[in-house]
Amino acid sequence: MSLSKYNQKRDFEQTQEPKGKIGKSENELIFVVQKHAASHLHYDFRLELNGVLLSWAVPKGPSMNPEIKRLAMMVEDHPYSYKNFEGNIPKGNYGAGNVIVWDNGTYTHTDSASSSEKTIKEDLKKGKLNFILKGKKLKGEFSLVKLKGKQENAWLLIKKSDKYATEDDILLKDKSVISKLTLEDLEKKVENNTATNKKEKKTPNPADNKPKSVAFLKPMLANSTEEPFDNPDWLFENKYDGYRTVAVINDNEVELWSRNHLSFNTSFESLISELKKIKHTVVLDGEVVVEDYSGKASFQLLQNYIKTGKGNLKYYVFDILNLDGNSTLKLSLLERKELLKMLIEKQKLSNIFYSEHTIGDGIKQFNNAIKNQSEGIIAKKAASNYLVNKRSNDWLKIKIVQQEEAIIIGITEPKNSRKNFGALLLGQYNGKRIQFIGKCGTGFTDEILKELYETLTPYFTDEATVTEKLALRDKIQWIEPKLVCQVKFTEWTDDLHLRHPVYLGLRMDKNASEVSLLAKNKKPAPTNTKVMDKPEKTKETKSEKDYDLKIGKTILHLTNQNKIYFPDDEITKGEIVQYYNEVADLILPYLKNRPQSMNRFPNGISESGFYQKDVDVEKIPSWLKTEKIYSESNDKHLYYLICNNKQTLLYMANLGCIEINPWNSTIKKIENPDWLVIDIDPDKHDFKEVVKTALTVKNVMDELESECYCKTSGASGLHVYIPLGAKYNYDQVKILAELLAIEIHQQLPKTTSLERSIKKRNHKIYIDYLQNRRGQTLAAPYSVRPVSGATISTPLEWNEVNQKLHPSQFTIKNVLKRFEKKGDLWQPVLGKGININTILKKIENRKD
């Protein structure tokens, strides 16, 4: 057991983590669980053994429910003194983020007579350790079980059935057992300390020219396009059919990592000795393949190599991310490749190759790829920087053979002479649910059937993995959606099933959560990818599925534009995007600097949508603006999207945001709304009564000598807005809104209600004043609504609020002419605003 990897990954001049030294408890062996908010929140589970802490990263955290098996990825050993580490690992360092000690205590082997460290070590080597935890939160018997057929570091952490087992979520106990701080508390503390107690920087020693150690970086990813193209500003490389691999070389130590930071050291051990010949500190990006005798890469041969070690293993390197401690990320791709070529050709390496490229001739290279039976080509913008852990249109993959990653969600019973199972049931995520995409019964040998069945067995479940009813007569054994496989196939059917899928192998480098149906092109390929200043309203545009839209310096990749969003009206996603493109100048003033609660309908209005407040800042395009804001409903800080320009508006529409829902306040005065809202919700009431209620609001405000403005909700009601000029906080505004609602209800007691409960309203019109709380949202003016007809939330003149009015009369097909004629009727809502104190006095005087 060594701490060398631990020490190599850390710069102890920058991080307060303890240096790697052997230590030991006086009596019982200890365990510790640290909650770690790094690039992704996870829990680090550590067991003391032979002077170090064996460590596993548990993405979803430990569970006290025996029915729940948690994936645990074994990482480098940590020093014994790490058991008490809490604090901040600064940005730029390995594991950057905040850490608390979530739980600690002692542990013993389940067999008390065999609790020696030697026995524990032997059980771990065998791939199964049973132990008892005596912690403050985790108690009772657990098991660590190594997954067969997985990478060397993949285990399961399982709670055993005993008196401590429970279905309660132990993770809700979120405070440190040492400091009693939550991660959020620690984050605030770190921010305060950073502001007031900045550490002095150590003066560098000019004589010390030794390059700093380099660490793993998640690789840049490519988007897909279906047609090759020629362009002198782009270069073209072969698309390799293998495993994306990042090589990190430090002082004669080599680490090989998958794109998701899983170790490839054991699987591709033969590459390490060759890479050690590179006498530089360096981070390389490339693809590991196994080639047949004709020189063609084969994913199946690569799978066989991992099991048997037999095959012609090669590492094609196409990028360099760091050289001798100097980041190369900001260099252009051509500059990086020039450095890389010099580095690789300087060495005499037998199975490490520089990935060649050509410039400008994409169509020719694609035809060569077809001739050579390659998987396809990669097009890369020559001047592009390297974007860590981001998918970008600067890199485009153009495939020849159709292949997909699919989640294994079940197996069918074997028939005739076949053993173990008949076929795999496959799925992909469609939003938050998994959608069935077909079954795969070919591509298996008897050996593969047996090994795959053994790998799947720990994931057997009685619960169906999909909600849809499958038209299958086979007896199904459902599988927890954890494992991803690669399949090749002929085409996608109209009902989004794979035709003639053939199993190629498991993808140990991919997480099931990454395998998305929505992120891929499913129907016949469009014409060549093009860049447009503005999509023209033609039949060709309507039928086109994907294109690039250039807005200023931003190129926005729009996908699935021919997907039907409104089935009854045959309105497509592309038409929604085009509407927001047309109306951007009108709607943006009411979105600027406001947090967005994105209500997404990626499959149109016939399926349920979902709200997304928090965006993953590491995965979205770098040009998008976000703001970290505390969410009361979520009880934590979230990264909200801020929509200040057309490209962000269309980005949201492309995500499936049919309607746009901004906060009532801006990030400049987050606690002070710009307007007060009276939301008139009719339930099943006649709309004429809704109009009467809105006119009553107008009369009340006229009596109070204050302005108000009306718009259709776009669905079934009306919204009346009162401008405030961001002069008052949410509590003050809500009090006034409630007083106004009471006054309106008193004037219309037979038709209106202030009851929030639908049952208690008795079908009366609900005067909703609670929309004036912090974080509440309503559809913005000029927003489409996800209801039949694609109606628009439309600003009105008060003389239009009459018995002829109905929200259905304003739709995506007719409002643009109205807006062109009337202009922005909503502009006064952003004006100086009313004086609440004056209004409150008037209300009080009326009571007297």
**Catalytic residue annotation:** 239
Instruction: Please name the residues in contact with 620: beta carbons below 8 A apart, sequence gap of 6 or more.
Output: 626, 641
Asked if 239 and 397 count as a contact pair (C-beta separation under 8 A), the reply is yes
Q: Which pair of structure tokens corresponds to residue 788?
A: 């039949």
Asked if 734 and 722 count as a contact pair (C-beta separation under 8 A), the reply is no
The alpha carbon dihedral of 552, 558, 563, 567 has a sign of negative
Asked if 422 and 475 count as a contact pair (C-beta separation under 8 A), the reply is no
What distance in Å separates the CA atoms of residue 840 and residue 702, rounded to the nearest whole number?
A: 14
DSSP 227-281: S--EEEEEEEEEPPSSEEEEEEEETTEEEEE-TTS-B-TTTTHHHHHHHTT--S-
Determine the 3-state secondary structure of 653 from DSSP: helix
686: buried, middle or exposed (CB in 10 Å: 19+, 13-18, 0-12)? exposed
DSSP β-bridge partners for residue 491: 499
Instruction: Please name the residues in contact with 500: beta carbons below 8 A apart, sequence gap of 6 or more.
Output: 489, 490
DSSP 8-state class, residue 213:
P
What distance in Å separates the CA atoms of residue 594 and residue 666, rounded to the nearest whole number?
A: 4
Asked if 375 and 364 count as a contact pair (C-beta separation under 8 A), the reply is no
Q: What is the CA radius of gyration of the chain?
A: 30
What distance in Å separates the CA atoms of residue 377 and residue 291, rounded to the nearest whole number?
A: 17
What distance in Å separates the CA atoms of residue 116 and residue 693, rounded to the nearest whole number?
A: 78
HSE of 393 in the Cβ direction (CA atoms, 13 Å)?
Answer: 18
- The angle that helices 646-654 and 573-587 make with each other, rounded to 10 degrees, is 150
Asked if 481 and 407 count as a contact pair (C-beta separation under 8 A), the reply is yes
**274-283 exposure pattern, b = at least 16 Cβ within 10 A, e = fewer:** bbeebebbbb
> Dihedrals φ, ψ of 341, to 5°?
-60, -45
∠ CA 673-649-554, rounded to 5°: 130
> Dihedrals φ, ψ of 231, to 5°?
-165, 125
How big is the chain, counted in residues?
848
What distances in angstroms separate CA 632 from CA 556, 635, 776, 840, one per listed residue?
Answer: 33, 5, 10, 28
What distance in Å separates the CA atoms of residue 768 and residue 696, rounded to the nearest whole number?
A: 15
Determine the 3-state secondary structure of 741 from DSSP: helix
**500-534 exposure pattern, b = at least 16 Cβ within 10 A, e = fewer:** ebbbbbbbbbbebebbebbeeebeeebeebeeeee
**Secondary structure of the chain: what % helix, strand, coil (to 5)?**
25, 30, 45
Kind of pairing between the strands at 391-399 and 765-768: unpaired
The residue behind tokens 């409960």 is 757
∠ CA 179-184-189, rounded to 5°: 65
